[in-house]
Amino acid sequence: MAEAVLTTTLKVQAPPRELEREPLVANQRSLGWLSDHIAGIAEGKAPRWWWFAFIPSFFALCVLGAMLAYQISTGVGVWGNNHPVMWGWDIINFVWWIGIGHAGTLISAILFLLRQRWRTAVNRAAEAMTIFAVMCAGIYPALHVGRVWFDWWLFPFPNAHGPVWPQFRSPLMWDVFAVSTYFTVSALFWYVGLVPDLAVMRDRAQTKVRQFLYGLFALGWTGSNRHWSNYEKAYLILAGLSTALVLSVHSIVSLDFSVSQLPGWHTTIFPPYFVAGAIFSGFGMVLTLLVPLRKLCRLEDVITLRHIDFMCKVTLATGSMVGYAYAMESFIAWYSGNPYERFAYSNRAAGPYAWGYWTMIICNVVVPQFFWSKKLRNNLVVVFIISILVNVGMWFERFVIIVVSLHREFLPANWGYFRPSWVDICTFLGTLGLFFTCFLLFMRFLPMIAISEVKGVTPQADPHHPLGGGKPGGHPW
């Protein structure tokens, strides 16, 4: 026995080359190249394409300002909302924008907990997208109350009206807490992730102003390992908290609907169905942004085709979950035997808004199925077109849920039809302007890829890998 133990070799063979994982950063780029290239996007003069994107976005942002001023000074009557469709484009766009934000948190938090190391290449841009999308979303509930100057009544402030407090049995109050927490925590998580990269920007700064500003926001980060130790722990906790948060936010948004007793809204499937749809639409938006940006900023080595491939797979999976939810909703409407519920669903598929329902089904359920093909997942033109169709489809999902459920309720005497006003349309285009203006400014002034995190997933960052100085032939772990 003893001899048998002694003759056993203590070393494990290195894995064969063909079993080694493909590195996440292509073309053997060095650590220094990553800093130079990624930080370089936010340095120097803005490229011409940036101005071509920025000027129309900024114009749309000005349109948003004008529309909001018009709506505040005149009243919500300028929107197309009517009786019985009391919630129109305001709530559709609120839910749509909040949903888009969810992919950013999924990438930054849930994929972090699941140790999906490819997330490092896309998480910064996706989190920025989250923050700007939540800003766009926040405009609508704030404005749809009609008298914006009373918005502070939503928050539990001590006030001079005698004891008058918000009423916490209403899901609308839960929403106030969910959305404001979501915005705050997403922004903090994003900022914490930025701190080491702001230090990179500070150390590279050529002018005094840049050095001062990046230095100020980098908080004096030195890259000390004693700091990294606490930092990594805080980041892990924030990822855990954000996971719990993102699942709750769209669940609470869905409770705005499902706690009411309207056919088409009053279903228990809403929370998971809304969360899956939110992540689906968010990945659509991440792909819409990153497919052109990786080309324009020459980031093909950092956001590789493999990254795009993974994101397409998530889109396919969540799109199919959404399709399942649609099927279940219709099945339960039939199976429940409730005539109002049955009518709500037949009215969706065959009523006056059937075009909206079928646009939703085609964009959300049929179109993502193309992603089963690896060839199509690697074709960037196809990916870009599908990502836009996903966004369109998810917008129509909210349209179907909100407008189509409201326009024909219990009493036929209350039936109506909804058409958006020009103010609705211009306000929506304006929020797109706000979103793209913020995103373009972000990528001009801040590193749009998490530099230190991407460095950490390269082979030369791994102390057990030969490129990181580890002994050749040693087993990685």
Give the residues lining the site for other proteins (CB under 8 A): 30-32, 35, 156, 163-169, 171, 173-174, 177-178, 181, 184-185, 188-189, 192, 196, 199-200, 202-204, 215-216, 219-234, 237-238, 241-242, 244-245, 248, 252, 255, 452-453, 455-456, 460-464, 468-470
Smallest gap, in angstroms, from Cβ of residue 22 to other proteins?
Answer: 20
| Identity of the residue, 39 or 126, whose beta carbon is nearer to other proteins in the bound complex | 39
Three-state secondary structure along 366-410?
HHHHHHHCHHHHCCHHHHHHHHHHHHHHHHHHHHHHHHHHHHCCC
| Identity of the residue, 234 or 425, whose beta carbon is nearer to other proteins in the bound complex | 234
| Identity of the residue, 28 or 230, whose beta carbon is nearer to other proteins in the bound complex | 230
Distance between CA atoms of 64 and 434, rounded to whole angstroms?
8
Distance between CA atoms of 74 and 69, rounded to whole angstroms?
8
What is the torsional sign of CA 63, 431, 40, 293? Answer: negative
DSSP string, 306-359: HHHHHHHHHHHHHHHHHHHHHHHHHHHHHHH--HHHHHHHHHHHHSTTHHHHHH
| Identity of the residue, 412 or 463, whose beta carbon is nearer to other proteins in the bound complex | 463
| Identity of the residue, 421 or 460, whose beta carbon is nearer to other proteins in the bound complex | 460
Task: Specify burial of residue 149 (Cβ count, 10 A radius: 0-12, 13-18, 19+).
Answer: exposed
Question: Of 92, 149, 165, 110, whose CA–CA distance to 391 is shortest?
Answer: 92
Smallest gap, in angstroms, from Cβ of residue 39 to other proteins?
Answer: 10
Smallest gap, in angstroms, from Cβ of residue 273 to other proteins?
Answer: 18
Distance between CA atoms of 197 and 194, rounded to whole angstroms?
5
For 391, phi and psi rounded to 5 degrees?
-65, -40
| Identity of the residue, 31 or 388, whose beta carbon is nearer to other proteins in the bound complex | 31
| Identity of the residue, 47 or 156, whose beta carbon is nearer to other proteins in the bound complex | 156
Which two tokens mark 398? 């909210």
Q: How many CA atoms lie within 13 A of 41 on its CB side?
A: 25
Smallest gap, in angstroms, from Cβ of residue 247 to other proteins?
Answer: 11
| Identity of the residue, 142 or 173, whose beta carbon is nearer to other proteins in the bound complex | 173
Q: Is the peptide bond before 263 cis (omega within 30 degrees of 0)?
A: no
Smallest gap, in angstroms, from Cβ of residue 29 to other proteins?
Answer: 11
Smallest gap, in angstroms, from Cβ of residue 309 to other proteins?
Answer: 25
- Check if the beta carbon of residue 53 is closer than 8 Å to that of residue 436: yes
Smallest gap, in angstroms, from Cβ of residue 180 to other proteins?
Answer: 8
* Secondary structure letter of residue 109 according to DSSP: I
Smallest gap, in angstroms, from Cβ of residue 209 to other proteins?
Answer: 15
Rg, Å, the chain Cα set: 25
Distance between CA atoms of 136 and 96, rounded to whole angstroms?
10
* Secondary structure letter of residue 464 according to DSSP: T
Smallest gap, in angstroms, from Cβ of residue 404 to other proteins?
Answer: 27
| Identity of the residue, 295 or 464, whose beta carbon is nearer to other proteins in the bound complex | 464
